[in-house]
Amino acid sequence: MRMTRVFCLQIWAILWKDIRYELRSKQTWLGMGMFALLVLVIFNFTFDLHPDTVAAIAPGALWVAFIFASLLGLGRTVAAEREQTSLDRLLLTPVDRKAIYLAKLLGNLLFIGVVEIVALPVFAILFNLPIWQGSTLLTLILIVILGALGIASVGTLFSVLAAATQARELLLPILVFPLVVPVVISAVRATSVVLVPSVNEPPWLSLLLAFDVIFLSASTLLFQYVIED
């Protein structure tokens, strides 16, 4: 019982430190948010949107914006620690490595989640989509959270690996993109089904959840081997 309490307190301490740090430095949130909005605007300009094509294009545009913005943030959070050698300081402490992973994951999830929730209304306006009707908005938010969890769970693990290299900005997408393809496909298809209900579709939301569970479990177990020298 005491171990669980200490574990939770350690997660909270690291998470709160990251939130406070980000609120002061404003390096990650602003960059991610601006990037996501710019991608949505560019997609809006470059495609010739008609009522019959918008439902096919919009989910892809939304998730391209989200995944690139997420990678921008994922690269920054751990890289900022590495640059100041503070990750070493974290590793010197008797903190369970799983606690470090979960705290970093929750931080990333929070940063990505906030950016996505802010970008969602902009997306709806730019693509003229009726996401406010019925349970559409709630389902969309659920998909966004599950998609962000899938990206963040893999991304947090590999951002530690990439941060230890010179070419971290390049390496992180190369490592993460192939692995999160199942999450992205599920998220795009689930979003598409919400926007234009169709029959005979696989249960994309359940698949997304399953991928999240697999990635989260594997990443939590692997993190301590990745983070140690």
Partner 1 sequence: MSKLADQGSLLPANTESADVQAIEVHNLKKSYAFKPVLRNLSLTLPHGQRMALLGANGTGKTTLLRILVGLSKAGSGTVAINGWDSRYALQEIRQSIGFVAHQPYLYEELTVLENLLFFGQLYAVPRARERAMVLLERVGMARRVNERVRALSRGQVQRVAWARALLHQPSLLLLDEPETGLDQDGSVLIDTLLAEYAAHGGSILFTTHQLERALALSDQVVIINGGKVVYQHETVDLTLTDLRQTYQGIYGGKQV
Residue 228 engages partner 1 in binding (rule: CB under 8 A): yes
Residue 165 engages partner 1 in binding (rule: CB under 8 A): no
- Listed ranges 20-28, 30-38, 62-70, 160-168: which one lies at the site for partner 1 (CB under 8 A): 20-28
Cα–Cα distance measured from residue 210 to residue 215, given in angstroms and rounded to the nearest whole number:
9
What is the number of residues in the chain? 229
- The single residue among 10, 70, 108, 156 that binds partner 1, judged by CB under 8 A, is 10
Q: What does the per-residue mask of binding to partner 1 show for 55-94, with x meaning CB under 8 A?
A: -----------------------------xxx-xxxxxxx
- Listed ranges 11-19, 31-39, 125-133, 139-147: which one lies at the site for partner 1 (CB under 8 A): 11-19
Specify whether the CB–CB gap between 31 and 76 falls below 8 A.
yes
- Listed ranges 15-23, 34-42, 110-118, 152-160: which one lies at the site for partner 1 (CB under 8 A): 15-23
Nearest Cα residue to 68 out of 96, 32, 26, 42: 32
Residue 19 engages partner 1 in binding (rule: CB under 8 A): no
Cα–Cα distance measured from residue 9 to residue 215, given in angstroms and rounded to the nearest whole number:
24
**E strands, the chain, in order:** none
* Minimum distance of partner 1 from residue 88's CB (angstroms): 6
- Contact set for partner 1, span 89-118 (CB under 8 A): 89-96
On the 0-12 / 13-18 / 19+ scale of CB atoms within 10 A, 214 is middle
Cα–Cα distance measured from residue 92 to residue 89, given in angstroms and rounded to the nearest whole number:
5
Cα–Cα distance measured from residue 98 to residue 119, given in angstroms and rounded to the nearest whole number:
31
Cα–Cα distance measured from residue 194 to residue 129, given in angstroms and rounded to the nearest whole number:
11
Would you say 19 or 110 has its CB closer to partner 1? 19
Residue 17 engages partner 1 in binding (rule: CB under 8 A): yes
Provide the binding-site residues for partner 1, judged by CB under 8 A. Answer: 6, 9-10, 13-14, 17, 20-21, 24-25, 84-86, 88-96, 228-229
